[in-house]
């Protein structure tokens, strides 16, 4: 675990003998109860010139209606921004005082805040903290620069760096059973916990503990990442029907106690402390609160309900808080994709909405390792044949029907810009990005070999674009799609990894009505005969026929993905 030093200054003073000689206090001794306060100071992310820290104060004396914590740095650390406290600095001396909403500190109660800072040289934990003038215990350590111990108690800057990634044996077996599937059956994919029953295993399948046990077997002596999808919010996927969930719009308590709490308990089991557990948090939920609520033309009644009751914000905040407590757990929040949130009226407000969730229900921005884009989607990683700055006959690429005034043409540029906007809005400077490349290769004979003709801007873009969908808003079982870049760590600036979170071959939704007990409805966007809606500008859906329920194996799609893979298999 991270380096820890406990200074029992106040306790020793209180139990000193009459001669003034300090008496020894052993762990569990009643003398420890006399410690007036404890400060837990942890550096959670650290890079060449900066760091983020999380501080938790525990009050063991009389309840307080306000508080002020002070410390001094031995080095040249400077606090540059903070959250959940009013932080000021003079020289090496720092003061953190409560905000209006968190001044109450009960006896035995705790309060947390965080901040971002700069440093050079060393970044040692401050030696002494005082709460309202009284010296506290200090329990803290640095994070990413510490050597990780065998228990995996230190967060690293990028969990994928230097690590293998878990191969789900259930998906691997299905892939290997397909003709030609053995070419990719050893690739790592996400494990979807999409209902309460999935925690223990559905219909005799593997549950969470079974996957983590198998991950320990695959790990060997090196590092290993396990990728999990946390996906069961109340009123899930309010703008779609194919992937609706089991919980009603108001069942937030059930989500917390029967879904998140059991997952958090398993992830925190010391047995799994040597694994790096990556959680993709609640796909599509928060972006829906930006684009699919009134007064937008794309609004749905279900999304209006979820915005009004706040249960997406509460649920994501609760998940981040509970799951982020384990030092070997890394949370990545879903950030849609460029064809959803890349427009000016969606982009910054999406980061604001995610930050709202990341500071709800006890969570802080330090519970967010990063963000993931293009999850289970098809947006091209890199459009190589045109850029957002190109123009044809005096018309910008942004004016083309395909780009439609978006600021981004592909996922890589969007993800890098999203990361920077998140830092600008107060997320840690070391925050990372994941891009799901499981189905965005768009290879095969339909892949353009160069730019389109310069007849007009639409011909130019349509002739050269790698993404061959009918419309960038089409999301269900897309015809012509192919496997994208294989999973890899640190592939580009600001990107922690390319990942296959959506397991290739698993359907996005049924192409016709299929009765089921999974809470999954029928969405016309999965029907190849559907002529569209405002979210895809009333275009054809582009979906494959004869698709099964969301998450069920779709052999025809799997074969298409392999056939059109780019890079080719």
Residue among 284, 367, 390, 436 flagged as catalytic: 284
Annotation says 284 is catalytic: yes
- The Cα-based distances of 236 to 30, 288, 306, 436, 501 in angstroms read 49, 10, 9, 20, 18
CA dihedral (267, 273, 278, 282) in degrees, to 10, reads 20
Q: Which residues contact 370 (CB under 8 A, 6 or more apart)?
A: 330, 332, 333, 419, 431, 432, 433, 434, 496
Q: Where are the beta strands (DSSP E) in 397-468?
A: 432-436
Annotation says 390 is catalytic: no
The CA distance from 28 to 295, in Å, is: 59
The CA distance from 413 to 158, in Å, is: 20
Return phi, psi of residue 420, to 5°: -65, -40
The CA distance from 198 to 453, in Å, is: 50
Contact 29, 20 (CB under 8 A): no
Contact 486, 185 (CB under 8 A): no
How are beta strands 68-72 and 93-97 bridged, if at all? antiparallel
Contact 227, 165 (CB under 8 A): yes
Residue among 390, 508, 523, 527 flagged as catalytic: 508
The CA distance from 238 to 227, in Å, is: 24
Helix axes 311-323, 301-309, angle to 10 degrees: 60
Any idea which residues carry the catalytic annotation? 284, 508
């Amino acid at each position: 675990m991270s380096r820890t030093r406990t200074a029992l200054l106040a306790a020793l003073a209180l139990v000193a003998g009459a001669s003034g000689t300090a008496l020894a206090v052993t762990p569990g001794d009643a003398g420890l109860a006399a410690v007036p306060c404890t400060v837990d100071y942890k550096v959670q992310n650290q890079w060449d010139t900066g760091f983020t820290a999380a501080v938790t104060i525990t009050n063991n004396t009389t309840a307080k209606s306000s508080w002020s914590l002070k410390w001094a740095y031995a080095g040249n650390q400077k606090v540059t921004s903070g959250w959940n406290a009013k932080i000021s600095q003079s020289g090496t001396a720092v003061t953190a005082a409560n905000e209006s909403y968190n001044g109450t500190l009960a006896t035995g109660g705790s309060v947390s805040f965080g901040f971002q800072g700069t440093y050079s040289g060393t970044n040692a934990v401050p030696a002494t903290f005082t709460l309202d003038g009284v010296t506290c215990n200090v329990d803290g350590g640095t994070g990413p620069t510490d050597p990780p111990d065998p228990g995996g108690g230190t967060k690293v800057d990028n969990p994928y760096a230097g690590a293998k990634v878990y191969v789900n044996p259930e998906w691997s077996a299905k892939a290997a059973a397909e003709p030609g599937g053995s070419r990719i059956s050893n690739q790592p994919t996400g494990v979807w916990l999409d209902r309460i029953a999935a925690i223990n295993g559905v219909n005799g399948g593997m549950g969470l503990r079974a996957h983590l046990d198998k991950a320990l077997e695959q790990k060997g002596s090196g590092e290993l990442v396990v990728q999990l999808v946390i996906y069961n919010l109340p009123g899930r996927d309010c703008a779609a029907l194919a992937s609706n969930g089991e919980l009603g719009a108001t069942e937030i308590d059930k989500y917390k106690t029967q879904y998140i709490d059991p997952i958090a308990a398993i992830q925190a089991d010391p047995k799994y402390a040597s694994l790096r557990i990556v959680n993709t948090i609640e796909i599509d939920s928060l972006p829906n609160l930006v684009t699919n609520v009134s007064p937008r033309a794309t609004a749905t009644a279900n999304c209006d309900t979820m915005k009004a009751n706040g249960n997406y914000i509460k649920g994501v905040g609760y998940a981040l808080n509970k799951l982020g407590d384990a030092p070997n757990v890394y949370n990545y929040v879903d950030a849609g994709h460029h064809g959803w949130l890349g427009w000016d009226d969606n982009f910054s407000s999406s980061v604001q909405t995610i930050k709202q969730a990341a500071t709800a229900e006890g969570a802080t921005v330090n519970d967010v390792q990063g963000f993931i884009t293009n999850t289970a989607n098809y947006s091209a990683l890199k459009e190589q044949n045109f850029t957002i700055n190109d123009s044809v006959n005096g018309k910008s690429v942004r004016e083309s029907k395909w780009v439609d005034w978006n600021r981004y043409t592909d996922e890589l540029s969007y993800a890098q810009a999203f990361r920077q906007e998140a830092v600008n809005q107060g997320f840690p400077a070391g925050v990372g990005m994941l891009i799901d490349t499981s189905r965005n290769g768009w290879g095969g004979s339909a892949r353009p070999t160069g730019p389109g003709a310069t007849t007009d801007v639409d011909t130019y873009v349509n002739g050269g674009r790698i993404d061959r969908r009918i419309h960038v808003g089409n999301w269900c079982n897309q015809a012509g799609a192919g496997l994208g870049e294989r999973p890899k760590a640190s592939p580009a600036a600001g990107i922690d990894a390319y990942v296959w979170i959506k397991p290739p071959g698993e359907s996005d939704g049924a192409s016709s009505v299929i009765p089921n007990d999974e809470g999954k409805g029928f969405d016309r966007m999965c029907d190849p005969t559907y002529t569209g809606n405002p979210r895809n500008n009333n275009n054809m859906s582009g979906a494959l026929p004869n698709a099964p329920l969301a998450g069920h194996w779709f052999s025809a799609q799997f074969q298409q993905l392999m056939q059109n893979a780019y890079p080719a298999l």
